[in-house]
Amino acid sequence: MPRSPAWTHDELMLACALVVENGWNELREGDPRVLELSDLLRSLPIHEGAAHSIPKFRSIGSVSRKTSDLASNHPAYVGTPTKGGRMDREMISAFITRPTEMLLAAAALRRGIGTGELYAIPQDPDELDEEGNSAVEGRLLARWALYRERDRRLRARKIAQATKLGQPLQCEVCDFDFGSVYGDLGTGYIEVHHRLPLHVSGVRETELDDLAFLCANCHRMCHKSRAGESWRTPRALRAEMVKPSP
């Protein structure tokens, strides 16, 4: 019988949100929230076909055990923790250091699932890095953000607004200007990126002021995943840029 695939950041975030809301305590199998989360995880568009081919995939028992892993590996836990894993510890750390933001991320993911919007968006190769890793908030919120950022109409409106206001079409992180480098080929070209993750700005209709102009390189660096980290805002990425030697 095939084994259930490893838990993803998306799944761990939803489980850890329940643990946090439960006072950093595990949830027993008889808790209705465990049953609800089990059903939710089995429906996520991540592990294609697992819910149908693996009977115990994200079962009530496995969900309850995962909440035990997350609760017992908290630094303040008194007793012997369960084994857990690296991603469990990353998720615990994220909820300890940024509880409000992580709870908002979990709520945004639940909203996208509840409205059905996330089920209608195709997978995006950039939601994971080259090693198959995602940001700590998971791949589904990244998929959602990338889908919105690639809306040609939204990008066109943002460029039209900047042109009307006489603003340059250059990267807000590194100041790269496609037109200055590539001439006519690059004139009028720039990519757009949400200044804040969707769960921070609020899951709502995107406004033009929510978007920043980025070159392709900086855009990819904003979305690049590293273990236990979140996506970078343009401001945070600019702070990470290596300063040229004097």
Contact criterion met (CB below 8 Å) for 64 and 25 = no
CA 4 to chain centre: 22
pLDDT (0 to 100) of residue 2: 77
Structure tokens at 121: 């968006």
CB atoms within 10 A of CB 229: 14
pLDDT (0 to 100) of residue 229: 81
Matching residue, tokens 């409106």: 157
pLDDT (0 to 100) of residue 13: 97
Structure tokens at 52: 């149908």
The answer, as to whether pTM is greater than 0.95, is no
Mode of pairing for the β-strands spanning 191-194 and 211-214: antiparallel
Q: What is the pLDDT along the chain (246 residues), one digit of tens a residue?
A: 678 899 999 999 999 999 999 999 999 999 999 999 999 999 999 998 888 889 899 999 999 999 999 999 999 999 999 988 999 999 999 999 999 999 999 999 999 999 898 899 999 888 887 777 788 999 999 899 888 888 899 999 999 999 999 999 999 999 999 999 999 999 999 999 998 887 777 777 788 998 999 999 999 899 887 777 888 889 999 998 876 655
What Rg, from alpha-carbon coordinates, does the chain have? 20
Phi and psi at 148, nearest 5°, equal -70, -40
Convert the chain into a string of H (helix), E (strand) and C (coil).
Answer: CCCCCCCCHHHHHHHHHHHHHCCCCCCCCCCHHHHHHHHHHHHCCCCCCHHHHCCCCCCHHHHHHHHHHHHHCCCCCCCCCCCCCHHHHHHHHHHHHCHHHHHHHHHHHHHHHHHCHHHHCCCCHHHCCCCCCCCCCCHHHHHHHHHHHCCHHHHHHHHHHHHHCCCCCCCCCCCCCHHHHHHHHCCCCCEEEECCCHHHHCCCCCCHHHEEEECHHHHHHHHCCCCCCCCCCHHHHHHHCCCCCC
pLDDT (0 to 100) of residue 161: 95
